[in-house]
Amino acid sequence: MSYSVSDEEIKQIVESRHQDPFQVLGPHLIDYKGKKSLVIRAFSPDAELIYLLPADHPDIKHPMKKIHPDGFFEAILPEEKRVFRYRLHIIDKEGTARICYDPYSFLPIISEYDRYLFAQGNHYRIFEKLGSHPMEIDAVPGVQFAVWAPNALRVSTVGNFNHWDGRVHQMRNLGGSGIWEIFIPEIGEGELYKYEIKAKNGDVFLKADPYAFYSQVRPETASIVYKLEGKYKWTDHRWMKKRASTRPWGCPVSIYEVHAGSWMRVEEENNRFPTYRELAERLIPYVKDIGFTHIELLPIAAHPYDPSWGYQVSGYYAPTARYGRPEELMEFVDRCHKNDIGVILDWVPAHFPKDAHALGWFDGSCLYEHADPRQGEHPDWGTLIYNYGRNEVRNFLIANALFWLEKYHIDGLRVDGVASMLYLDYGRGPGEWIPNKYGGNENLEAVDFIKQANSVVHEKFPGVMMIAEESTAWPGVSRPVHLGGLGFGFKWNMGWMHDVLEYMSKDPIHRKYHHHNLTFG
């Protein structure tokens, strides 16, 4: 049989192990019988027949030749010298027909410059490129998907739109960047999806999107296509303008710390979680009445395990759906600002859970974490530790901090577990940790990450509070980076908290014997 592609490439496509299916599928100009010709190839595992429909000539129907029984088709058009937009008329083995645009007919969206910045760890708006983004290309609506998985053999986007079949939407590998990308036409917001990843050892598994803006609630773990732009109209312009011109360390601060899932549950409805709107109705007046200046929310990013209180994050860019939709969180923050209350968010860049759908072993390798458990696993918490020396990992985290400040108007980040980041021997005994290049126990890569994160946040969002939850005597935690410090504006005084609570737990008649707890703290 005569066709324009090798048997090996066809085999790689139908077995879903081609590194760049766009090199084979879609439109290509080739030399055919001594003439420049257009060839269009398609792969649809359930197809019995496929016809090619030029978009500007709907009356023309080109039959495609089935050159592999598993659904590989080709049409050679010797008279065509240019690439044109087209649709595929697919008839499956049951006789059901559908007409759709070919995802392999669209050019890459993520630019070489985007990939360069990401590889350098300096693409602070990478959340606009990776993840899922509804858009139009040449008036064709659809969703662009992109994920970083440099060690994968193949990555596919799967969802209800392709029956969770990883053969259907195999993604393009963008060179040495490790980014995989595809634009899937004619799907939109609300679609459930994951990435099906084939590791180099042949294992195939599903992962949620690290950059998804919305996701399902446990026990379900799929990501959800969601567009943040235009969802909520902010009214806090006065607050934001004032914040940008204020030095927060020179203002009185009184913070009410709250776990949204525990505060005043709705008992009459099976003790369910309150919604963001219910919190706004009840929490804001309460906090304002007793005189607090800020509400500090324990982590509200997507997390699989309720008892973790949100400190084991699986979706860093997705507010948990336990309490409502993203725009309802925006409304909560907006209403806080309207009542002159700032909102601080607990942020967890120190570690992440081992859940199968999350970041661990993401592409069949230790991608976000260290490979050596003496560096990559937290002995006390049973979680994984970020590899801060990898540029793309630092970029993921720093861009996430900026994301919350920009998209949700958060007024401060209380950075959790800073001590566990700073010390290589945190929670470890002799022989259970690896010294740095100078033989010390300081995590130099984490120090650089913290300094970069604080510097970028203070540059782009003046007036925002960066608070370290740090329990040791590390010097210069709240000293500016240019003066040799870590760059935080504040340090969460763990010793004071412990000592004051210890003092308050004493019977009042005995407290006079424990005043030293107050002065020591």
For the CA atoms of 446, 243, 256, 260, the dihedral, rounded to the nearest 10 degrees, stands at -70
Helix (H) / strand (E) containing 151: none
Which backbone phi and psi does 152 adopt, to 5 degrees?
A: -80, 150
User: Are residues 348 and 244 in contact, defined by beta-carbon separation less than 8 angstroms?
Assistant: no
Cα–Cα distances (Å) from 401 to 77, 125, 316, in that order, read 51, 11, 9
DSSP bridge partners of 37 = 30
User: Are residues 492 and 469 in contact, defined by beta-carbon separation less than 8 angstroms?
Assistant: yes
Q: Pick the catalytic residue: 80, 469, 470, 499?
A: 469
Q: Pick the catalytic residue: 416, 445, 470, 499?
A: 416
Q: Exposed e or buried b for every residue in 173-185, given b needs 16+ CB within 10 A?
A: bbeebbbbbbbbb
Closest CA to 142 of 155, 152, 127, 157: 157
Helix (H) / strand (E) containing 449: helix 444-460
Close Cβ partners of 189 (under 8 Å, ≥ 6 residues apart) = 134, 225, 226, 227
Q: Give the integer Cα–Cα distance in Å for 459 and 463.
A: 10
Q: Give the integer Cα–Cα distance in Å for 48 and 149.
A: 33
| 3-class DSSP state of 162 | helix
Helix (H) / strand (E) containing 42: strand 35-43
To the query of whether residue 138 is one of the catalytic residues in this protein, the response is no
| 3-class DSSP state of 319 | strand
DSSP bridge partners of 442 = 423
Q: Give the integer Cα–Cα distance in Å for 101 and 140.
A: 8
User: Are residues 352 and 306 in contact, defined by beta-carbon separation less than 8 angstroms?
Assistant: no
To the query of whether residue 334 is one of the catalytic residues in this protein, the response is no
For the CA atoms of 299, 303, 308, 309, the dihedral, rounded to the nearest 10 degrees, stands at 30
Measure CA 503 to chain center.
42
Residues with catalytic annotation? Answer: 416, 469
